[in-house]
Structure 1
Amino acid sequence: MAEMFVEKFRSLVPQYLDDAWDPEDGLTEDDLDDALDEAGVEIPQALREFYLALGGCEDLMEAYYFVWDPEELEIEDGYLLFMEDEEEQYVWGIREDHLDIPDPIVHRRHNVRGSWKSEEGTFSEYMLDMFSWVFDELEPELED
């Protein structure tokens, strides 16, 4: 399948880390496939391309929320879980029955209540917006 998102995700390295993207910032196809085999999950194209572009870049994988390494991915409550906040109050996922959609809608679960809510954006939209929020809006507040 043709890459749709890799370049956009790679562009986050120079945009937010003031450094050129390096192949070590991403995962290789073989490493990603091995990790997914270990996890026993299938992932949508946008998430796959995210890992290929940024799966080795800890500065972005752990920028504010923690994007799980691909071997840690799991299905729970009918969702593929891929990210959590540092207090573990929320986890983000993609509906299991939407994993065949190239860029599916992201949902968030409140862990205490167990309730899921749509973030009303696709994976690529949500991740790009999240990094913008972390680096453009939140980071200046943290520096004060």
Structure 2
Amino acid sequence: MSEIFVEKFRALVPQYLEGAWEAADGIDTADLDAIFTELGIQVPQALREFLHAVGNCEELMEAYYYFWDPEELEIEDGYLLFLEDEDENYTWGMRSDQADIPDPIVWRRNNATGAWVNEEGTFSEFVLDMLDWVFTEDDEN
């Protein structure tokens, strides 16, 4: 499978962190494959490439919300969960039955009610928009 999103995600490091991307910022694909096999989950290409590109870059993985480490990914309520806010009021995920879609739509769960809301954007769009908002918000304050 050819990489579609890796370069966009790697570009986040120099864009927001004022340093060059380094291999240590990401997670090796063989390691990711082993983790996902052990967990028994299928991960969409965009999320897999995000983790491969910047999965070890704490400044991005914990920029405002907290992206889960690959070992922490889980399926709950029919969604592959990957992100939560610091107060654990909301969790973000993608429908697990759409794991074969390269860049699926992101959904947000209100943890108090269990209600899911469509974020109306794909994973790559969501991540790029969220990080732009986080880092632009920081610059404005």
TM surpasses 0.5: yes
Corresponding residue for residue 138 of structure 2: 139
Match of 1:78 in 2: 78
Query: For 1:55 and 1:35, how far apart are their aligned partners in 2?
Result: 13
Q: How many residues align structurally?
A: 141
Counterpart of 1:7 in structure 2 is 7
Q: How does the TM-score come out when normalised to structure 1?
A: 0.95
Q: Map 1:1-144 to 2 at 5 A.
A: 1-136=1-136, 138-141=137-140, 144=141
Unaligned runs of 5+ in 1: none
Given residue 12 of structure 1, which amino acid in structure 2 is its aligned partner? L
Give the alignment's Cα RMSD to 1 decimal: 0.9
Q: CA deviation at 1:36?
A: 1.5
Shift of residue 50, structure 1, vs aligned partner = 0.2
* 1:95-133 Cα shifts (integer Å, max 9, x gaps): 011111000000000000100000000000000000000
CA contact (8 A) 1:38 1:71 kept: no
Deviations 1:35-56 (A, max 9, x none): 2123221100000100110011
TM-score norm. by structure 2 comes to 0.97
- Structure 2 gaps of 5+ residues are none
Deviating 4+ runs (over 2 angstroms): 37-40
Percent sequence identity over matched residues? Answer: 64
